[in-house]
A and B are shown apart, each in its own frame.
Chain A
């Protein structure tokens, strides 16, 4: 086993679909994305923690967060740096728009080849799609083994990493040499919080595009003096990806139709909590053999 590891965390900025409020749907029935806050995908935070655990086990290792998304996704790279990541890469290009999981996995795998890590840690799935496909698909693209539903890195045994996995009805402990890709479950430990000193250190970290938008002399000087404040931003050309495998054209799956969910209106019989209402309901349920 190497003394230090190059660790890549795959993460995604997602709309917070768990907190869909009343204003989340527009009057015409379409999703109002603006009303949904963009958050660090929850299981990707569990993944970041496992990467930081690895860094604790192998001091001197380097944790890099890799995300694909629009410019504002750099927010989760900064968040990861506040919590312990050494840096990040934003993969951003209009050509990625409309990519399904397979095209996304291809794009990510191109960036990973350039980063050349020893291990990849990803969240099991993102809450906006809940597919859990990107981790295994990236592993396949790289020809690496995958350890899904990881809950704990138990330790090492020779050249192998020992990982505990959560299955539907139990646990499994596996051993696997590097390189490997692991996806981490929500049942794994929560991510450590932001570290005050790291927040001070990295709060001005920006991608080149962000720096361009909000350029001040102070900012520009700071970034020249402290190279760690420059968040790497890569386009399709930077990772030498094949356009034909990206975006809508590179996606085998196509969306044929989107329907907004509208409840079929049905009139519920209204009852109160009074003894007589409850008793007559129960009487009815027993009489109709719904109960008993």
Chain B
């Protein structure tokens, strides 16, 4: 009872990275609170799933396994989670801020009237004293997230309702095997007691999942373009530099919105969070919406014609100049001088 729960997303038999990242974070929270970390896996053909989850610290793995539970559909998964949560009474429940998690978590929070904070960038344990009533709450989950287009950072709490629910985007938390693995004790869920026929009212007719082609998250070098690139054609030079350096191309929201490149390349609060060894920001002004997704980079180089671009405030090197002039020079030097 009153443990930390993580809903684990499973696509084609594989646990999503975001779920393993949440288990890593959940383990830290559970250690602080002195409670167990429990994983929740709903789907089909899940035998042995605990072996994937225990290394990340899962003490218990609740498994609901039936053919009709995969692929993911909102209503049956929500019904099982609500049923289980009513019995287990978790104090914290974490979901990925993925299409699945952002569809599922609000439904669950509404049914349990528990409150939910979306897209948290940090989760901490702390106390709170209500200014009006003077009531003190200990060991609350601080759900920290940017709001208002990233211009403010808000700390949200749920003092009176459980579970305290939060979603976190992929790549925001680190995925790390726990020092001591969890026991991974499997508890089979009897799903039938939570499900009704009406939970299966949505029929999936067709489903086409593409393998992830673009993966900027794990790239050691990211060459990112912003609105200042001017056009889709100009992005070609960034692809060339990225290829030469063994990296990937990223982009700001403004560049993606303008149709210059793919959404999968978007870095920032509403895109991917990255921590490469080197981040080269080309024609990116550096709105907080963007920097929130890349300020953990080991080194940042900005190339911008505006010497006062906000990006320069977080850059290690600020090259004042035209991307179309600077980038070819970088390519040329690297080609000539690298082994």
Interface residues of A, Cβ cutoff 8 Å to B: 15, 17-18, 20, 24-25, 31, 100-102, 105, 127-137, 139-141, 145-149, 160, 162, 167-177, 251-261, 263-266, 268-273, 275, 277-279, 281-283, 285-286, 290-292
Contact B315 A268 (CB under 8 A): yes
Contact yes or no, A259 B106, CB < 8 A:
no
Q: Cα distance A149–B106 when bound, in Å?
A: 14
Decide if B339 touches A292 in the complex (CB within 8 Å): yes
B269 interface residue (CB < 8 Å to A)? yes
Cα separation A131 to B270 with both chains bound (whole Å) = 10
The residue that A132 contacts in the complex, of B118, B322, B326, with Cβ under 8 A, is B118
24 pairs, CB–CB < 8 Å, chain A vs chain B? A18-B253, A128-B147, A133-B102, A133-B109, A133-B116, A136-B74, A140-B78, A145-B75, A148-B99, A160-B203, A162-B205, A172-B71, A172-B204, A172-B207, A174-B205, A268-B313, A268-B315, A268-B317, A270-B320, A273-B326, A282-B337, A286-B338, A290-B277, A291-B278
Taking CB atoms and an 8 Å cut-off, the chain B residues in 187-215 that contact chain A are 201-212
A261 touches B146 (CB 8 A): yes
Identify the stretch in B19-27, B32-40, B57-65, B158-166 within 8 Å (CB) of chain A at 4 or more residues: B158-166
B91 at the interface (CB under 8 A from A): no
Expressed in whole angstroms, the minimum distance between the Cβ of B196 and any Cβ of chain A is 11
- Smallest CB separation, A134 vs chain B (Å): 8
User: Which residues from A are CB-within-8-Å of B119?
Assistant: 130-131
Give Cα distance in the complex from A270 to B304, angstroms. Answer: 11
In Å, the complex CA distance between A140 and B109 comes to: 9
Tell me if B329 is interfacial: C-beta within 8 Å of chain A: yes
Interface status of B88 (Cβ within 8 A of chain A): no
A145 to B199, CA, bound (A): 8
Cβ-defined contact, B151 with A252, below 8 A: no
The interface residues of chain B lying within 8 Å CB-to-CB of A148 are 74, 99, 102-103
Interface centre among B106, B307, B315 (most CB of A within 10 A): B106
Chain A residues near B142: list those with CB within 8 A: 256
Distance A174 CA – B208 CA, assembled complex (angstroms): 12
Task: Give chain B residues whose Cβ lies under 8 Å from the Cβ of A160.
Answer: 203
Q: Please tell me if the beta carbons of B103 and A146 are within 8 angstroms of each other in the complex.
A: yes
Within 8 A of A (CB), among B62-80: 71, 74-75, 78
Q: Chain B residues near A261: list those with CB within 8 A.
A: 146, 150-153, 288
* Pairwise interchain contact A131-B118, C-beta atoms closer than 8 A: yes
Check if B274 is an interface residue, CB within 8 A of chain A: no
Which 4 A-B pairs give the minimum distances between C-beta atoms? A273-B321, A252-B115, A17-B149, A140-B110
Q: How far is the CB of B9 from chain A (nearest CB, A)?
A: 10
Verify if B318 is at the interface (C-beta below 8 Å from A): yes
Give the docked Cα–Cα distance between A263 and B314 (Å): 7
Using Cβ atoms and an 8 Å threshold, which residues of chain B touch A275?
329
A285 touches B278 (CB 8 A): yes
Nearest Cβ on chain B to A162's Cβ, whole angstroms: 7
* B113 contacts the other chain (CB 8 A): yes
Which of A102, A128, A290 is close to B113, meaning CB atoms less than 8 Å apart? A102
Given A133-B109, A266-B313, A269-B316, 6 more contacts at CB 8 Å?
A: A129-B147, A253-B143, A268-B313, A279-B329, A282-B330, A286-B337
B87 at interface (Cβ–Cβ under 8 A)?
no
Query: Which B residues are CB-close (under 8 A) to A252?
Result: 109, 113-115, 158, 160-161
How long is the Cα–Cα vector from A127 to B99 in the complex, in angstroms? 17
Q: Are B318 and A271 interface neighbours, CB within 8 A?
A: yes
CA distance A292 to B223 in the complex (A): 15
Asked whether any CB of chain A lies closer than 8 Å to the CB of B117, the reply is yes
Are A278's CB and B99's CB within 8 A? Answer: no
- What 0/1 readout, one digit per residue, does chain B (286-325) give for beta carbons within 8 Å of chain A? 0110010000001101100001001011111111111001
Of the candidates A15, A253, A260, A278, the one whose C-beta lies within 8 Å of that of B333 is: A278
Q: Does B156 contact A (CB under 8 A)?
A: yes
